[in-house]
Structure formats: structure tokens, C-alpha cells
Structure 1
Amino acid sequence: MEKPRQGFWGLWNISFGFFGIQIGFALQNANMSRVFQSLGAEIDNLPALWIAAPLTGLLVQPIIGHLSDRTWLGRLGRRRPYFLTGAILAALSLFFMPLAPALLAAAVMLWVLDASLNISMEPFRAFVGDMLRKDQHSAGYAVQTAFIGAGAVAGSIFPWALEHLGVSNDAPLGSIPDTVTYAFWFGGGALFLAVLWTVLTTREFSPQQLAAFEGARAEAADDAVHALAARGPLASIVWIAAGAIVALAVGWFDLEKEVYLLGALLAAYGIASLIAARLARAGRGTNMLASIVGDFAGMPALMKRLAVVQFFSWSALFIMWINTTPVVAGAFYGAPDAADPGYQEGANWVGVLFTVYNGVAAIAALTLLPLLASRFGKVRTHIIGLLCGAAGFASFFVIRDPHWLIASEIGIGIAWASILAMPYAILASNLPQAKLGIFMGLFNVFVVVPQLLVATVMGSIMKAFFPGQPIWTMAFAAGTLCIAAVAMMRVNES
């Protein structure tokens, strides 16, 4: 038995909600450093303030993936309850974010916003796999990527467009410009309406239908939990020891205090795996902790290799989101201080640049990537995309006129389109349907872990080797994309 083939409007409705979600992410990515600096944050403290976003994703995505695999709320379905809940919370967060009275309040709101966006976003990845036949997976993720790009264009361009419509872009230190405030409010409304469209226009397959579609591939037993029960404590002890070593290194090498978080996470996973193994041995394999840890330890080989690629790809992206505003304002507008009018001008230009790379991604997802994939395959297409992004980041060192940075963003946009489409298209065709949510959630751990690493370690690196020169973060971004391209050579898409 096979799933019915989706037409144009079916593909549209399945992914349209991601248009709204990406508006939220774009507003966050392009403006949070600006919000923090406007409220008095120093540039060296930006990575620490951004920790909330990846840490939230690390905790939320596997949990939501696990729960959405096991949810069925009648007519509302399997994934859609999470779309709707996350959208409501994210819209409220976007409304209250620009009203934050102080830096700490803004950091807390970022935590709430990112958690809400992740609640909506994570099931969307599995939703494409749920609703589409295997021969439509590439098309489905390409359409989703196009909506991601279009949503990011809308979110990124909001402040710039509002300024040109006469809304004030000036703000004394300690306050947020009206352009950003209104952009967050409009974005929250757009996010909710777009997700509501997908919720109202799609009907999910029931668990019985999905089992019939899966056929012989349906899992009779949870082999991952059985393997976890049989595992000794050595691996868990190694994780705990690694966390202790990282914590000690903070004092030995005078690293930034945020690195303590990295050590704590390593040790926490070691402790969680010990508890999960004990639960599995006691016959409690259906426990959420045992299931998540068991599936993480038992990831398919293909997924592990793609995880390495994701790790380095998203390291570069998070470097870009944190640092592009201070890089452009300081290196191209001569305004490193947020109180300088030139800083706000540079920050608005970053919104335009982010619009360009997202617009390029939307177009490339529907045109360039399918053409390359049909000729060279998904793996080689992704390698080409990653190298285009590396060239875009490297070009920051040879360009002098900020307007020419648009050329840099074209390469970054091609990489962004490929990162959002190719790995997921490869995975969706090779994962069991019953565990698509949890495996997509675990795969996204390798999206957020590098962000945590950047947030905790990058500040120490820049302070030690490139103080007051944030443009060197672009060199790190180019280098990590090159490493990702090399790692992709180990992936066999068949």
C-alpha cells in the first residue's frame, strides 16, 4: 500500500506554516544582537546571551519529536497539535520581546521565543515524511525550503521596509527602535496565521494508515532500547569525565565562564544515559528518557555521518547570525558602538543582506538544487552548496563596499538552501516511519549542539586572539563549511 501522490496545493499546504515559523526565526536571528546591544550588552557578551536559543532547541526538539510520534488527537492529528501550540506561544513572545525593559528580560524572552518556535518547527520536518511518498521527498523538502527562504525574506526585511515607510529607526542606548518593535508585532501575527493555514488545510494519515504504508518496514520491537539495556556503564562514564575535564579547563586556561555550560551538558548526558540504561534493564523501555537515549545511541550509520556534516554546517550559520551585525556595522560602517547612528544604519543593511541570502535560498531550492541533484546526486549537490557558502564568508575579507556584500550573500544563500533540503531528503527516505519524529528531533540536536559550542567557546577564542575584531568570525565560518563539505564525502545517499 502506498501513500497518495500530492499535487501542487498539497505540497503548498503541508509546508506553508513554515513560512510563518521562519518569519519568527528571521526576526530573532537578524535583530537579537541588535536588541541586546541596544539594551547595553557588550559585544564579547553576545554569545553568552544567545545561549538560550540553542540550549532550548537541544532540550525541546528530541522531546517534541518523541511525543509527536506517539500523539493522536482525533481530527487535530499527530503533528498539528504541536504546530498550533508553538505558534500561539511564539506569537505572544514576539509581541512582548520589544517591550522588555532590561537586558535580562530580553534574554528570558529569547528563551521563551526559541522554545516556542522549536515546538512548532520540529514536527514540520517529520510532517513532510509523514505526508509524502518517497519519490516526492526531495520535492517536499525543496518546497519547505522555499517557504523557509520566503519567510526569512519577509522577517529580515521588516525593519528596513518600515524605516522607508517613515517609522523611526533611532533609539538612545537602553531602548529599541520603533522599526524593530513593529516588525516583531507584525511578524507575530503573520507567524500565527501561516501555521493556522497548514493546520486547517491538511488532514494527517491515522496511525493505522501509516502502519499500512510502512508495511514490512514497521518495527515489531524496539531494538534501540534492547541495545541500551545491554550496554555497560563505560560510555556514560566517559561522557561524565569529559564534562569534568571541560569544567576544569575553564580555570586552567582562563576561558569564558560560559564554557562551564558545555561541560555541564556533557556530564548531564552521561548521567542521563546511566539512568536510561537502568530503566531499560528494568523493563521500562517505553519511558521517554530511555527511548530518546536509546534512539540517540542507536542512530543509523547514514544519520551519524550526516550528523557530522550538520554539526559543522550549523556552526558556520550560528557564527553568522551572532556576528554579522557587529561585523558589518564596525568593519563597513565604522560604527562598533550601538549608540552611534551609523550602527543602526549598518544593522538595517544586515537585514537587507539576510533578505538576499534567504531570497536566493528560496529560488535555489526550486531551481538550482533540483537541477544539480538530478545530474550529480544529492550528496555532490550538497558539497557544491557548502563550498559556495564558504566562498561567500571568505569574501568578507576582500570586499570594501558594504553594497557588494550582496554577492557574498548569494553564495551563502545557495549553501543555506542545500543545508535545509538535501540532508533531510536523504534521511526521510531511509528512516522508519514510526520513528520519523524522534529521529528528526535527534538529527536536529546536531543543529543546536554546534550553536552551543559557538556560544560558549567563540567568545574565548575571539577575546584571546582577535580582541575587538569580530570580522575574523567570518573566517571561522568559511573554514567550518569547508570541513562540512569534506565530511559529506563520506555519505552514501543510497
Structure 2
Amino acid sequence: MTGRPRQSLAGLWNISFGFFGIQVAFGLQNANVSRIFQSLGSDVDSLALFWIAGPITGLIVQPLVGHFSDRTWGRFGRRRPYFLVGAVLAAMALTGMPHAPVLMAAVLLLWMLDASINVSMEPFRAFVGDMVGPAQRTMGYAFQTAFIGAGAVLGSLAPFAITAMGASNVAPPGVIPDAVRYAFYLGAAAILSAVLWTVLVTREYPPEALRAFAGEDATPASDDGKVGNAVAQILRDIVNMPGEMKRLAVVQLFSWSALFIMWVYTTPVVTRYVFGSTDTASKAYNDGADWVGILFSVYNGVAVPAAFVLPLLVRRIGCARTHMICLLIGAGGFAAMLGIRDAQMLILPMIAIGIAWASILTMPYAMLANALPSGKLGVYMGIFNFFIVLPQLFIAVVMGPVIHRFFPTEPIWTIAIAAVLMGCAALAMLRLSDRPQEATGIRADPNLAL
């Protein structure tokens, strides 16, 4: 056997559907955690530091899960056990977070939530590489991006929609509004049901089949399962990273720094400059926080159709130029936010950011999967996550002091920093050149355009 069988559209759907539930959870987190923290007493200067859970758990959990999932094989498969365990723990954290009695309890539950989501999410990136051959990988990751966008739309809109159905979006100081609590319950149900779908309806290729597909030794390696040995092997893998992965890493550092700034600071920026309130118990503030959920649903919603346009662009101009153009569009979106004070008009820059988001979730992974050995897809996808979480960790540590020192009364300048960083990511793409189309499989796949 020389290659993986082609997946049908239903097969591509099933492989990635679990990501829908994961992103419902992420959408709720990204649009509401700053709101929860501020409701429980956090000031704006401290928000980025309290968000540090995501970067640190990603830095630790993803490479370890990737390493061990590369070496796992049992009656439940290779990646699927990690999907399910992470989903169960994430559902528990989602259920508990809106009931946090004090700020530090909410912070600890964010740590649990982020760690659990990372346990589920990392193997999903490698799962596409396991199950889909090179000629379908761009489309495989496009399906994943579409589910990421759709799930995040649901998560972002949930508090607003539940408020429209009659739940209160206002609560006394120190209390989370009912609409947010019910939305988090919805997120818990979504991540469990969607991940369970993928676990039940997919069957993974056994190690011997992966060996035959790849023409290499894809058998799970034996390192006696000890964490110390795993860390040593991960460090060796970092040293031996392929050159294309190193160049893509620089792009990730800039682009994810910009995204993290957006997730942390959009709520205080929009509530202050567009809705005119910093009082977390006021109706104006909570209406603004609900509107942030709508804005986040816009950029995630745009990512759904954009994900399926990307393969068409790749066929014409290549992966690297496609990604560079999308990042430049995203930088323009951030820049446009600086001068807008009308809630409806903020939808326009979110459309631009959504185009960049679709590319960020698709193109680096499609480029990377074709440059990595199949027996190390899990660990290298986990290592690649370093270059997502390290910039977030940096922003979490330094952004609060920067705000306090240079613009304590004007947090909107955080968005200007995001625009510059996204522009730098686009420029960093000049260091990458497109591999021949035969190598990426783009031209060989007539179904890329659906």
C-alpha cells in the first residue's frame, strides 16, 4: 500500500467534527473570561496576567500529549482516548466557572479548562495528518477550520442569544449573569457530544497501516512511558525541527501575539469606547460585553466560508502567498478598529480579521503536515504549539505593565500593537517559498474546490 485511501466528504466531516465542540468552549472562553474576571473584581491592568493559564498549559500539555499519542495504540485507538478524556474534564470546568465565588476560583477553573481543551485539541491536529493523505490535507484542515469557526460562532453568540430568550445579562457586583451561566452549560454539552461523535464514528489506522502508507517506521516508539524520557525526546525533536517549521514558527509568534491581545482587550476596549462604560454592574457595560460576543462570532463565522476559498487561492498563488495576503488583511482590520466608535461598524474590521483567522488555522498546518514524518506528527504539532503559546505568555506578562506605564487611560492602543504584530507576521512569510505543487498535493486534488 502506497498511500492513504481518499476520504469522502462525510469522512472529512467525521474526522474533524469534534473540533466543533472544542471551539464552542473556546468561543465562550475568549468572549467571556475577561467579563467574568472583571465581574469578580479584576482591573484591566491584571487581565492579561490572569489569562496566563492558556499559554502555560499549552506549553506543557500539548507537546507531552503529542509525544504520548504518537506512542499510544490500544483498543480505543491512538488519538481518540485523548479527545475524550480532555472533553470530559473541559465540560466539568465549563460547568463550574460561572459559579466561581471569587476571582481566584475563576482563575483556577480557567487553568483546568485550558489544560483540558489542550488535551483534546492537540491530537486533533495530528489526527488529520494520520487519516488524510497529502493530496487532501489542505481540504482536511479546511474542514477543521470550518468547524472551528462554526463552533466559535455558537460559543460567542450564546450569551447574547440566551439574553434574547429572556435570561438576565446583568447581575450584582461579584455575581455572574444568568445568561453567561446558561451559555457555559451549553458549552459543556457541546464539547462532550461533538467529541463523542468523532470518537464513535471514526476508526484509526493501526501502526502497520501507517507504516505502509508512509514508507517509514510509524510504529509507536517505546520509551517506557516515563515523563522524563518524554521530555528528553521532545527536546531532541526541538533541536531537529525541519527548517520549514522554524520559518513558520516566526510567523506564528507574531500572528498569535496579535490574536491574544484581541481576546484579552476587546471587551474593555469596546465597553469603554463604544458603549461608554467601565462599570461591570451597569447595563451599558454588559450590553457592550454581549456585543463583543457578536463581534467574535463575526470573525469566526467569516472563517467558515473563507476556509473553503483558501484551497482555490492555493491552487493559483501557492500556500505562502495566500497566507501572507490573508495576514495583511487581518492587520488592516486591527488598524481600522482604532478609529471606529459605532458598534455596527466594528463588524467590518471583524470580517477582515476573520479572513486572517481562517488562514492562520489552515495554512500553517497544511504546509507543516507535508514537511513532517508521519511517526512524529503528534509531537511536532505539539512543539509547533510552542510558537502559539510563547507569544501569549509574553503578552500576558508584559502587556499589563505596558498599559499601566504608557497608556493607563487609553487601552485602545493595545489594538494598535495587535495591528503592527499581524503586519510583521505577513512580512515574515517572505522567508517561506511554496513547495512544488506535486509535493504539496494541491494540483493533484480536484476536490479541493468542493
Instruction: Give the TM-score range, shorter chain.
Output: over 0.9
Q: Is the 8 A contact 2:24 2:187 kept in 1?
A: yes
Match of 1:40 in 2: 41
Cα distance in 2 between the residues matched to 1:286 and 1:408: 46
Q: Is the 8 A contact 2:326 2:355 kept in 1?
A: yes
Match of 1:463 in 2: 404
Does residue 1:302 correspond to 2:244, yes or no? Answer: yes
Match of 2:77 in 1: 77
Match of 1:250 in 2: none
Q: 1:36 to 1:342 in 2, by over 3 A?
A: same
Shift of 1:396: 1.1
Shift of 1:307: 0.4
Does residue 1:290 correspond to 2:232, yes or no? Answer: yes
| Superimposed CA distance per residue, residues 323-350 of structure 1 (whole angstroms, 9 cap, x where no aligned partner) | 0000000011111221222110100000
User: How do residues 239-318 of structure 1 correspond to structure 2 at under 5 angstroms?
Assistant: 287-318=229-260
Match of 2:62 in 1: 61
User: How do residues 3-42 of structure 1 correspond to structure 2 at under 5 angstroms?
Assistant: 3-42=4-43
Shift of 1:418: 0.2
Match of 2:358 in 1: 417
| Superimposed CA distance per residue, residues 450-483 of structure 1 (whole angstroms, 9 cap, x where no aligned partner) | 0000000111111111112111111011000110
Instruction: Give secondary structure in 1 for the equivalent of 2:34.
Output: helix
Q: Is the 8 A contact 2:17 2:194 kept in 1?
A: yes
User: How do residues 394-409 of structure 1 correspond to structure 2 at under 5 angstroms?
Assistant: 394-409=335-350
| Superimposed CA distance per residue, residues 405-464 of structure 1 (whole angstroms, 9 cap, x where no aligned partner) | 000100000000000000000011110000000000000110111000000011111111
Shift of 1:218: 3.8
Q: 1:221 to 1:185 in 2, by over 3 A?
A: closer
Cα distance in 2 between the residues matched to 1:453 and 1:131: 35
Shift of 1:188: 0.5
Q: Is the 8 A contact 1:90 1:117 kept in 2?
A: yes
Cα distance in 2 between the residues matched to 1:356 and 1:13: 25
AA in 2 matched with 1:403: Q
| Superimposed CA distance per residue, residues 388-408 of structure 1 (whole angstroms, 9 cap, x where no aligned partner) | 110111011222211100001
Cα distance in 1 between the residues matched to 2:136 and 2:121: 20
Match of 2:377 in 1: 436
Does residue 1:355 correspond to 2:297, yes or no? Answer: yes
Match of 2:312 among 354, 371, 393: 371
Instruction: Give secondary structure in 2 for the equivalent of 1:287.
Output: helix
Q: CA RMSD of the aligned region, Å?
A: 1.6
Shift of 1:289: 1.5
Q: Is the 8 A contact 1:392 1:407 kept in 2?
A: yes
AA in 2 matched with 1:459: G
Cα distance in 1 between the residues matched to 2:344 and 2:148: 24
Q: Is the 8 A contact 2:170 2:282 kept in 1?
A: no
Q: Is the 8 A contact 2:219 2:375 kept in 1?
A: no
Match of 1:178 in 2: 178
Match of 2:105 in 1: 105
Cα distance in 1 between the residues matched to 2:184 and 2:48: 22
Match of 1:140 in 2: 140
Aligned residue pairs total 431
| Superimposed CA distance per residue, residues 111-142 of structure 1 (whole angstroms, 9 cap, x where no aligned partner) | 00000000000000000000001000000000
Shift of 1:493: 3.2
Match of 1:191 in 2: 191
Q: Is the 8 A contact 2:254 2:425 kept in 1?
A: yes
Cα distance in 1 between the residues matched to 2:227 and 2:23: 35
Shift of 1:286: 9.1
AA in 1 matched with 2:404: K
Q: Is the 8 A contact 2:211 2:218 kept in 1?
A: no
Q: Is the 8 A contact 1:82 1:119 kept in 2?
A: yes
AA in 1 matched with 2:325: I
Q: Is the 8 A contact 1:285 1:291 kept in 2?
A: no
Q: 1:120 to 1:285 in 2, by over 3 A?
A: closer
Match of 1:206 in 2: 206
Query: TM-score, with normalisation over the residues of structure 1?
Result: 0.85
Instruction: Give secondary structure in 1 for the equivalent of 2:73.
Output: coil
Shift of 1:290: 1.1
Cα distance in 2 between the residues matched to 1:286 and 1:98: 36
| Ranges in structure 2 where 5+ consecutive residues have no aligned partner | 436-450
Match of 1:324 in 2: 266
| Superimposed CA distance per residue, residues 369-388 of structure 1 (whole angstroms, 9 cap, x where no aligned partner) | 12211111111110011011
Cα distance in 2 between the residues matched to 1:363 and 1:219: 35
AA in 1 matched with 2:50: L
Cα distance in 1 between the residues matched to 2:434 and 2:208: 29
| Ranges in structure 1 where 5+ consecutive residues have no aligned partner | 223-278
Match of 2:326 among 385, 397, 404: 385
AA in 2 matched with 1:465: F
Q: Is the 8 A contact 2:208 2:218 kept in 1?
A: no
Cα distance in 2 between the residues matched to 1:370 and 1:211: 28
Q: Is the 8 A contact 1:97 1:106 kept in 2?
A: yes
Instruction: Give secondary structure in 2 for the equivalent of 1:470.
Output: coil
AA in 1 matched with 2:364: P
Cα distance in 2 between the residues matched to 1:307 and 1:392: 23
Q: 1:41 to 1:221 in 2, by over 3 A?
A: closer
Cα distance in 1 between the residues matched to 2:162 and 2:315: 41
Q: Is the 8 A contact 1:302 1:492 kept in 2?
A: no
Q: 1:475 to 1:290 in 2, by over 3 A?
A: same
**Which structure has the greater CA radius of gyration?**
1
Q: 1:289 to 1:177 in 2, by over 3 A?
A: same
Q: Is the 8 A contact 1:315 1:480 kept in 2?
A: yes
Cα distance in 2 between the residues matched to 1:285 and 1:412: 39
